[in-house]
Structure 1
Amino acid sequence: MFADRGYDFDTYRRLIRARDITPKIAQRGAPHGSGLGKTRWVVERTFAWLHQFKRLRIRYKIRSDLHLGLLQLACSITCLRRLKTSF
């Protein structure tokens, strides 16, 4: 599991190891360049794309199945838009 410096605590490391997962957490105070966090912008960009849809940004639907349907629709629309601009 990859994480940034904000999770560099022994408590988190122990919890992760208890589930047989190897933690890859950047050390606090270590110089940048460890490689952790280089692809974080991909996740942040994806959330920004999904927040263009008001019904996902402000969750009006209480039922999770309706919210999941709107999320899948938003992902499909986003992929379609990206495909249109790439050709």
Structure 2
Amino acid sequence: MGKLRYVVEQTFALLHHFKRLAIRWERRTELHDAFVSLACSLICWRRLKGTRT
């Protein structure tokens, strides 16, 4: 349970680095979902690339 919790908390912390996702500005759910998908893609890309920011 502890290892899984760490991964989830780390993912949420990385998502909150994107200011647009920290506070939901979009009224439409589709736009918010699109930005979440884009943020997840960028996080995965950075992790695969080997750099962390």
- TM band (smaller chain): 0.7 to 0.9
Larger Rg: 1
- For residues 31-76 of structure 1, the C-alpha deviation after alignment (integer angstroms, 9 at most, x for no partner) is xxxxxx3121110000001001000001000110000000000000
Normalising by structure 2, we get a TM-score of 0.87
Shift of 1:80: 0.3
Alignment match of 2:29 (pick from 57, 64, 71): 64
Counterpart residue identity of residue 51, structure 1: H
CA distance in 1, matches of 2:23, 2:2: 29
Q: Which has the higher contact order (CA 8 A, sep 6+)?
A: 2
What stretches of structure 1 move > 2 A for 4+ residues in a row?
none
- Give the % identical residues: 54
Larger fraction in strand = 1
CA distance in 1, matches of 2:14, 2:23: 14
Where structure 2 has 5 or more consecutive residues not aligned to the other structure, the ranges are none
